[in-house]
Amino acid sequence: MLSSTTMSRSAGDFATAGDASSRTVRAARDALEGRRKGVAAALPFVGPAVIASIGYMDPGNFATNIQAGAAYGYELLWVVLAANVIAMVFQAMSAKLGIVTGRNLAELCREHFPRPVVWGMWATSEIAAMATDLAEFLGGALAFGLLLHLPLIAGMAATAVLTCAILTLEKRGFRPLEAAIAALVGVIGASYLGELLIAPQDWHAAAYHLVVPQLRDGTALTLAVGIIGATIMPHTLYLHSGLTQRRTTPRDARERRLLLRFSNREVAVALGVAGFVNIAMVMMASSAFHRAAPGMADIGDAYHTLIPLLGPAAGALFLVALFASGVSSSVVGTLAGQVVMQGFLRRRVPIWVRRLVTIAPAFAIVALGCDVTRAMVLSQVVLSLVLPLPMAALLLLSSRRALLGEHALRAPTLVAASAAAAAIVALNVYLIWAAFN
């Protein structure tokens, strides 16, 4: 369930949408019926988690991770790791909800929750979409402008055009769009692998802070909440449950269990890559800026500072990764927005209308001369404040045996996931209290 053209299609409809997509649908059916084995059986199901993983590598992550690494070195790496593990659990829950019920999270919320709750969830989801687009567009535009020496507004326009061009791939079926997103994920991952090889690291200290929690002061807590907001994305929780329905529908309990196994493996790998990228962002910022520029808080300044510290290759890799992140996350944000609106309101709007509405705040911020990086960081805090709603909905729906049968959450998983959601709510409450005191 995706855009205005493909969101309402079933797996069978995709068999005629394009050669690559039809081959994937047939291969998925062959895998479920045992005619494909090993890696060949898993490949047709690769895509939904890869698309969702882009939400965990968007420009908002760049902004918060650069600030975290510059100000606190490796100290907040444990937050990145913890957020990524929580993200894996909730993305797997979202995928399972779609696979077992055949409906996405927004649709299920509309069916099972009171109307005022549904309207509230839709409104906050749209706010989250605007906050997401703010970070995505500003990040992509910054990178494009720095690469080609263009004004920020021109970079934003170019990013918008390229995003729409990639979205048109969906007319040829889901597979070409998935391939484009996967290629951009590869660009981001390869770029940050290169950054780690260029920037000298204290691997022992990094390993220590990856597993030992530490929050030195209130600013560290604010950044930690921002990291969580940048890592666990509300819109991807809605989106993933819709993406799982495009290949094939399981015909019995055995096929459903097999499909869930493929899905869980893809979530682990795709979000593992996203976790590596986020950890690499903090480590690069720590290596480059913690001693030389601990107050680094601007993405543009980070690029200009990287070149004399680590060389032009590091600066180029940084911009390439940022641009790939901005473009790909803009595409994914649009898909998620369509799922949210159609699921909650049962209404469709043309993609170009949604793009105009959600990117308007980004253009307004640039026109008013606001600090771009600060706006990106604050957008991630907004996402963190919105996040508990879809997390709570996922927990409530995923624990209902009447809805999921044998696939309902078991007690240990429910307790652990509920504790994670409660911790995020507690952090948000503290953040609001601290802001007013």
Q: What is the pTM of this model?
A: 0.86
Length of the chain: 437
Asked whether residue 6 is assigned to any structural domain, the reply reads no
- Give the percent of the chain with pLDDT over 90: 25
What is the distance between the alpha carbons of residues 59 and 134, in angstroms, rounded to a whole number? 9
pLDDT in tens, 8-39: 455 545 444 457 778 878 887 877 888 888 88
- Residue 436's pLDDT band, with cuts at 50, 70 and 90, is low
- Sign of the alpha-carbon torsion through 373, 378, 382, 384: positive
DSSP 399: T
- Name every residue whose Cβ is closer than 8 Å to that of residue 148 and which is 6 or more positions away in sequence: 155
Asked whether residue 4 is assigned to any structural domain, the reply reads no
Task: Using the predicted structure, report yes or no on whether residue 237 has a pLDDT greater than 50.
Answer: yes
Residue 424 structure tokens: 């995020």
The radius of gyration of the chain from alpha carbons, rounded to an integer in Å, stands at 21
pLDDT in tens, 74-128: 999 999 999 899 899 999 999 999 999 989 999 999 999 999 999 999 988 888 8
Asked whether residue 74 is assigned to any structural domain, the reply reads yes
Asked whether residue 3 is assigned to any structural domain, the reply reads no
Asked whether residue 412 is assigned to any structural domain, the reply reads yes
- Domain at 85, CATH number: 1.20.1740.10
Asked whether residue 181 is assigned to any structural domain, the reply reads yes
What is the distance between the alpha carbons of residues 371 and 364, in angstroms, rounded to a whole number? 12
- Residues 250/254/259/265 CA torsion (nearest 10 deg): 180
pLDDT (mean) for 243-270: 87
DSSP 296: -
Hunting for tokens 């910022």 — which residue is that?
285
DSSP 43: G
Round to the nearest angstrom and report the end-to-end CA distance of the chain. 44
The one-letter code for the residue type at 237 is: L
What is the distance between the alpha carbons of residues 21 and 149, in angstroms, rounded to a whole number? 38
Backbone angles phi, psi at 396, to 5 degrees: -65, -50
Residue 152 structure tokens: 């920020």
pLDDT of residue 334: 82
pLDDT in tens, 328-352: 888 888 888 888 888 888 877 776 6
pLDDT of residue 2: 39
Q: 51, 335 in Cβ contact below 8 A?
A: yes
- Name every residue whose Cβ is closer than 8 Å to that of residue 410 and which is 6 or more positions away in sequence: none
Asked whether residue 297 is assigned to any structural domain, the reply reads yes
What is the distance between the alpha carbons of residues 105 and 344, in angstroms, rounded to a whole number? 9
- Name every residue whose Cβ is closer than 8 Å to that of residue 82 and which is 6 or more positions away in sequence: none
Asked whether residue 2 is assigned to any structural domain, the reply reads no
Q: 55, 131 in Cβ contact below 8 A?
A: no
DSSP 76: T
Which one of 182-191, 219-228, 418-427 scores highest in mean pLDDT?
182-191
Q: Is 39 exposed, middle or buried (0-12, 13-18, 19+ CB in 10 A)?
A: exposed
Total of domains in the chain: 1
Task: Using the predicted structure, report yes or no on whether residue 176 has a pLDDT greater than 60.
Answer: yes
What is the distance between the alpha carbons of residues 250 and 260, in angstroms, rounded to a whole number? 10
pLDDT in tens, 185-205: 999 999 988 888 888 889 999
Q: What is the largest CA-CA distance in the chain?
A: 63
Nearest to 227 by CA among 385, 86, 60, 92: 60
Domain that holds residue 42: 11-436
- Name every residue whose Cβ is closer than 8 Å to that of residue 412 and which is 6 or more positions away in sequence: none
pLDDT of residue 114: 93
Q: Is 250 exposed, middle or buried (0-12, 13-18, 19+ CB in 10 A)?
A: middle
pLDDT of residue 230: 65
Q: What is the mean pLDDT of the chain?
A: 83
Residue 1 structure tokens: 């369930």
What is the distance between the alpha carbons of residues 316 and 112, in angstroms, rounded to a whole number? 49
**Helix, strand or coil for residue 75?**
coil
